Amino acid sequence: MTMATNILKRNRTRPGLNAGAKKKYSVSRTSRTFYWMVVPALILFLILHTLPTLTGMFFSLTNYAGYGEWDFVGLKNYANLFKDDRILSSYGFTFLFAVTTTIVVNVGALFIAILLNAKIKFQTAFRGIFFIPNILSVLIVGYVFNYLLSNNLPLVGQWLGIDWLSTSILANPDLAWLGIVGVTAWQSIAFSVIIYLAGLQTVPGELYEAASLDGASAWKQFWSITFPLIAGFFTINMVLALKGLLQAFDQIVALTNGGPGTSTESVAMVIYRGGFQGGEYGYQMANSVVYLVVIVVLSLLQMRVLQRKEVDI
């Protein structure tokens, strides 16, 4: 792959693609009008996001039940979180679900994006079809698949003589999470495909032509050309997917409602049920604050690790 490697190096170092290239731009004074246009959005952000967040953090230090009087309890709620088996179980399920689904989504989306980026007939139509799941309501998709997994799939299992498939997997504490992973991945892949397609279209075609002349196989071309050049898009997809899946709620409500028992309760579901239905507002606010920190830290670590990998590739 000598020829393809040389072209790849030139593309990385030529002016315009070199991140280190220095350009001088004239800086003009920005009109005050633009600043005033930002003020309404900033006010809305503070009222609808920042203020509720700070309020929740305050109530996490109290025994507030969501109604009536309350007393200040300090860090007692936070200490109790680490002794609560239900809370710890929800974190374990959520991490397992989020990590597994993130891997499935990105592998599947990258594979589909490569196929859709190839020279095929009805390319635009296929891209539109594969994007449809992303515009469907999460709850509606969940209820439809709930019916299919609870009624149609068991019939197939009985016909094939597969015992574990002859009953609804959503009613099996050991298999229910796999049903949630499958449905969530089916719907989430669509958005990731769009991002990967955008990345694939930035790869110069002459690289593949040069690699073909060097006798490189399709796998070698992908690993040596395609993936290094779309590594940034891979990082974006991984971070967005994991962050979103850690907050899973709608899919689980529609498919299992946290069951059987509490085997598929996500952290978001525990916070909702305890905070708004169980009179544990202050306690679940503490859970929310901890989970906010967890998501932020994981996202930052993920970005740092993947960006380092980009450099190594």
Tokens of 64: 């507030």
In a domain, 129, yes or no: yes
In a domain, 172, yes or no: yes
Average pLDDT of the chain is: 87
With respect to residue 264, please indicate whether it lies within any of the assigned structural domains: yes
138: in domain: yes
Q: Which domain holds residue 181?
A: 93-312
For the chain, percent helix, then strand, then coil, each to nearest 5?
75, 0, 25
Task: Indicate the pLDDT class of residue 95, thresholds 50, 70 and 90.
Answer: very high
The per-residue pLDDT for range 133-144, each reduced to its tens digit, is 888 999 999 999
Which pLDDT score is estimated for 87?
Answer: 94
Domain tally for the chain?
Answer: 1
14 belongs to a structural domain: no
If pLDDT is split at 50, 70 and 90, which confidence band does 192 have?
A: very high
Does residue 208 have a pLDDT over 80? yes
In the chain, count of helices (H) and strands (E)? 16, 0
pTM listed for this prediction: 0.84
10, pLDDT greater than 70: no
Per the domain annotation, does 21 fall within a domain?
Answer: no
Question: In CATH, what number is assigned to the domain containing residue 164?
Answer: 1.10.3720.10
pLDDT at residue 207 above 60?
A: yes
Question: Is 132 within a domain?
Answer: yes
What is the per-residue pLDDT across 285-303, written as a single tens digit (0 to 9) for each?
Answer: 999 999 999 999 999 998 8
> What is residue 72's three-state secondary structure?
strand
* First and final C-alpha spacing in the chain: 16
Q: What is the dihedral of CA 148, 151, 153, 155, to 10 degrees?
A: -150
Across the range 232-253, mean pLDDT stands at: 92
Q: Please report whether residue 120 resides in a domain.
A: yes
pLDDT given for residue 8 in this prediction: 58
Query: What is residue 25's predicted lDDT score, i.e. its pLDDT?
Result: 45
